[in-house]
Amino acid sequence: MTTDEKFASIVAEATEWRRDFHAHPELSFQEYRTSAKVAELLESWGIEVTRNIAGTGLVGTLRAGKAAEGGNRGKAIGLRADMDALPMPEMTGLPYASKTPGVMHACGHDGHTAMLLGAAKYLAETRNFDGTVHFIFQPAEEKGGGGRVMVEEGLFTRFPCDFVYGIHNDSRLTTGHFAITYGTTNAAADTFAIRIHGKGGHAARPHHSIDPVMTAAHVAVALQSVVSRRIDPIESAVLSICMIHGGTATNVIPEEAVLEGTVRTMKAEVRDDMERLLTEVATATAMAHGARAVVEYERGYPSVVNSNEPVDRARRAAAALFGQERVIHDRPPTMGGEDFAYMANTVPGCFIRLGHVDPGTERFSNHHPRYDFNDASLEPGIRFWAGLVEQELVDEQK
């Protein structure tokens, strides 16, 4: 069998796995079926599997060359895929659409998992490298930070890696194109809730009340000046208020109103500033109206920061496989969050965006109820993972 034939047969299998995962989506930290299937496939190819890291997370370890003979582990790299789906109804109407109402693979993690499995199968069959590769299948990227929990449970002390790599599909890039960039690729994603405590009463006699609804409106407007007037315009920050709740009747001033939303930032200093300024502005604005604001600010995923060395290595692998013209060096970061951040904060890492829009077509964006991972991305994804391992894990004495 030629290499091309081998890849073609693996891609065909990966397409089936992908559609099977798509039909059976599971929420964060509940990826029981997915994780069991991943483990079973890896073991069937002779890959050593360590289960139950961060609950449903697992690591497949494959050694080849001198590393397989024991003793020195040689060089080691980690390749990461996420496995979870989203709590939303699917509207694709596809034959392999979700069989679980209200749960959907709308971010392509089904594809990421199938892609890494495809590479694992290829590498287990060919073993044309010298060193150790850890296939990291993480739970709960969408919610709860499965990547963080895996790191906390000793992922990189139990499975030491020189570098760690992750891939996410990108609905704004052409199929088979790889965006591999230095520095920050994804923003830190925090959430907040601001509780405005007023004094309830009759809507016709507002002077006997303290109106939390009107105060909430002032707070919402005042907060919009934080990014525009208090943060250096050269830096990036987003503050979105996405929910305002308060009141039950048209003639009642309620006791309380709540605003909730998200803050996205690229740099740690700006993140600190945003938390402090949001709290100050909300508290002081509420006070100006006689009310009291209590701010809960919850830090979510930190920003993903790529290290230069793995970026160079990933670019070299992609260019060697697909040509320089398919490697994008200057893609701006996204304000979306990504919990690969915890891995890249621990081991030098590189997060790669893989295009999945065929030329002349359009695709629904990630998290849309009609989104579907493009199976045409499996082939470049699998080849890239396999090629990266073969490039990185070479016996330097040979």
Q: Counting beta carbons within 10 angstroms of the beta carbon of residue 320, is it exposed (0 to 12), middle (13 to 18) or buried (19 or more)?
A: middle
E strand or H helix at 314, and its extent?
helix 308-322
3-state SS assignment for residue 80? strand
Distance CA 132, CA 66 (A): 10
Binding segment (CB under 5 A) for Ni ion, from list 103-111, 190-198, 202-210, 301-309: 103-111
Tabulate helix, strand, coil % of the chain (nearest 5): 40, 25, 35
Closest CA to 191 of 294, 261, 244: 261
From the list 26, 84, 375, 392, the catalytic residue is 84
CA proximity to 126, closest of 395, 386, 396, 398: 386
107 touching Ni ion, by CB under 5 A: yes
Q: Which two tokens stand for residue 85?
A: 């789906």
221: left (phi over 0), alpha (psi -120 to 50) or beta: alpha
Count, residues near Ni ion per rule CB under 5 A: 1
Contact status: 47 vs Ni ion (CB under 5 A): no
Q: Distance (Å, rounded) from C-alpha 307 to C-alpha 313? A: 10
Strands 327-328 and 178-179, how do they pair? parallel
Residue closest to 321 by CA, chosen among 260, 384, 257: 384
Cβ atoms of 82 and 361 closer than 8 Å: no
Dihedral pair phi/psi, residue 83, rounded to 5°: -120, -10
The span of 104-112, 234-242, 300-308, 324-332 binding Ni ion (CB under 5 A) equals 104-112
Whether 362 sits among the annotated catalytic residues: the reply is no
Residue 204 buriedness (CB in 10 A; 0-12 / 13-18 / 19+): exposed
Q: Which residue is nearest to Ni ion (CB)?
A: 107
Tell me the CA distances in angstroms from 234 to 77, 224, 230, 275, 398, one per residue in order.
Answer: 35, 17, 12, 18, 49
Q: Which residue has the tokens 């993690």?
A: 109
| 141 a catalytic residue | yes
Instruction: Give whole-number Cα distances, 261 to 64, 251, 304, in Å.
Output: 48, 27, 21
Strands 76-82 and 131-138: parallel
Query: How many CA atoms lie less than 13 Å away from 309 in the CB half-sphere?
Result: 9
Provide the mask over 179-208, with x wherever binding to Ni ion is found by CB under 5 A and - wherever it is not: ------------------------------
Q: Which CB sits closer to Ni ion, 195 or 363?
A: 363
Catalytic residue among 90, 141, 142, 375: 141
**Residues engaged in binding Ni ion (CB under 5 A):** 107
**Catalytic residue set:** 84, 141
